[in-house]
């Protein structure tokens, strides 16, 4: 797409929106300005291409399409079939997967589809067998009670939250924690790395139905071959949530033992983050789980979002291009350069560095909580998010860590030299921020002090750093 075409497309869209609700148009324009001027270091965010963004704003948004390709509960879905089939084809080819289901609206939805697919495939009970062969309305109360009890008493083993796991891996605030009897494996308290012998020991003791691999804030590679061996040793289904690092798998940075697709029975992912697509989810699986996965709608999903599936098809097509592999490698190179820049300035990093796209800073060395550090950095034009560290004394709300990632800045074109400059800006802010106190004089985990002049100076430096790497250079809204 030419730059003139991009500008025309987005300007025209905003003009149409402004005619109905100008405040929405203004907010959209302001968001672009904010993203252009801020150092976006949230590890789970990226910048989708103009083609991907435009694929979401069209008439597919108006279409209901419950069911799957060729088997819809609504008429007139032939064009939806085309884009869903294309997205699934690109996903299979990109990841070398036997089956791809591209309907999930988010990573949480993808995980729910996977969990229920495994439950339906693995749990053997008279009530479940009746449910599979009879109409739901024909089940007696006793059958329903037995079914709920059987499905709700299954066991899941996954990474603990403070070690880098995710809420959707069986923790109580999420529905998965109400579905499963969950136990966690952590990391070595000295190194912060996964201890596979301890995972195996926990699996032998707990005997889970599902062993979950994958993470939200673990800065190292995971050996999925070993985890599959552990799952097999106890008869568990091995599921991997690769939402964060799917782009590194797609770009062939993670291969062999570190590519989950050949090893897992079922893999879930988001389609944004390092994959650089629209916000959405996806499930990849072995053939034996395909039928259950394809029942995601109406099992746990509402109607598919055809306009988002169209955008997934575009983004996955982009990821199959040769230059995506170069992009994926630069993500890791940048993350490692950012980690080195922080370490050289005295920062403490969980595991001492990174193998992937993210870096986890323990900000307690600066005398701060994660919440204080997050806000001080935001005041200075640096967008991050607070995150727990292993054995975090401040819990999951205030935290002791800051999680940063490089997918978005790598999309803009920044390289390793700019990562060192970014490390300097982060270090400057954190060293000049002091923890505040509550009204009664007790230490506060939220309040902090940072000189406004320094924050403004760092924000200007961040904007200057980004000036050479314009965001969406083909989009001019003026």
Of 64, 155, 416, 447, the active-site residue reads 64
Determine whether 66 is an active site residue. yes
Of 237, 268, 270, 271, the active-site residue reads 270
Determine whether 188 is an active site residue. no
Of 279, 345, 447, 457, the active-site residue reads 279
CA-nearest of 276, 248, 251, 323 to 47 is: 276
Determine whether 204 is an active site residue. no
Of 241, 259, 374, 379, the active-site residue reads 241
CA-nearest of 390, 382, 377, 375 to 444 is: 375
Of 273, 276, 330, 445, the active-site residue reads 273
Cβ neighbourhood burial of 189 (10 Å; 0-12, 13-18, 19+) = exposed
Of 66, 89, 229, 257, the active-site residue reads 66
Determine whether 241 is an active site residue. yes
Our CA angle for 43, 272, 299, nearest 5°, is: 120
Number of alpha carbons in the 13 Å side-chain half-sphere of residue 117:
31
Report the catalytic residues.
Answer: 64, 66, 241, 270, 273, 279
């Amino acid at each position: 797409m030419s730059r003139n075409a991009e500008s025309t497309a987005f300007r025209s869209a905003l003009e149409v929106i402004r005619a109905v609700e100008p405040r929405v148009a203004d907010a959209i324009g302001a968001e672009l300005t904010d993203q252009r001027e801020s150092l976006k270091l949230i590890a789970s965010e990226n910048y989708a291409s103009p083609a991907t963004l435009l694929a979401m704003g069209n008439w597919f948004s108006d279409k209901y399409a419950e069911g799957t390709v060729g088997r819809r509960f609504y008429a007139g879905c032939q064009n939806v079939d085309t884009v869903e089939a294309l997205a699934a084809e690109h996903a299979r080819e990109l990841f070398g997967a036997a089956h791809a289901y591209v309907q999930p609206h988010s990573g949480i939805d993808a995980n729910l589809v996977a969990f229920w697919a495994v439950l339906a495939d693995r749990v053997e009970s008279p009530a479940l067998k009746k449910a599979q062969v009879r109409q739901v309305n024909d089940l007696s109360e006793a059958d329903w009670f037995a079914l709920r009890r059987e499905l709700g008493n299954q066991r899941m083993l996954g990474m603990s939250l403070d070690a880098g796991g995710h809420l959707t891996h069986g923790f109580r605030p999420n529905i998965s924690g109400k579905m499963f009897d969950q136990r966690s494996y952590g990391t070595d308290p000295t190194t912060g790395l996964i201890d596979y012998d301890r995972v195996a020991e926990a699996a032998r003791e707990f005997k889970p139905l599902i062993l979950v691999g994958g993470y939200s804030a673990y800065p190292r590679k995971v050996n999925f071959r070993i985890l599959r061996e552990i799952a097999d040793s106890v008869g568990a289904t091995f599921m991997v949530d690769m939402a964060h690092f799917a782009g590194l798998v797609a770009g062939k940075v993670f291969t062999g033992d570190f590519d989950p697709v050949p090893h897992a029975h079922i893999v879930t992912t988001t389609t944004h983050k390092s994959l650089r697509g629209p916000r959405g989810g996806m499930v990849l699986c072995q053939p034996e789980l395909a039928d259950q996965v394809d029942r995601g709608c109406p099992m746990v999903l509402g109607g598919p979002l055809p306009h988002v599936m169209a955008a997934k098809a575009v983004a996955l097509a982009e990821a199959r291009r040769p230059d995506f592999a170069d992009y994926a490698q630069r993500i890791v190179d940048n993350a490692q350069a950012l980690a080195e820049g922080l370490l050289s300035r005295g920062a403490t990093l969980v595991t001492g560095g990174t193998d992937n796209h993210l870096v986890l800073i323990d900000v307690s060395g600066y005398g701060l909580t994660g919440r204080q550090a997050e806000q001080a950095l935001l005041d200075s034009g640096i967008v991050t998010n607070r995150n727990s560290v292993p054995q975090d004394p401040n819990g999951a709300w205030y935290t002791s860590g800051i999680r940063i990632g490089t997918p978005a800045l790598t999309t803009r074109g920044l390289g390793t030299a700019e990562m060192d400059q970014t490390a300097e800006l982060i270090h400057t802010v954190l060293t000049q921020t002091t923890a505040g106190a509550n009204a009664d004089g007790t230490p506060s985990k939220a309040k902090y002090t940072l000189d406004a002049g320094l924050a403004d100076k760092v924000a200007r430096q961040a904007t200057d750093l980004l000036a050479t790497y314009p965001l969406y250079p083909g989009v001019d809204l003026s």
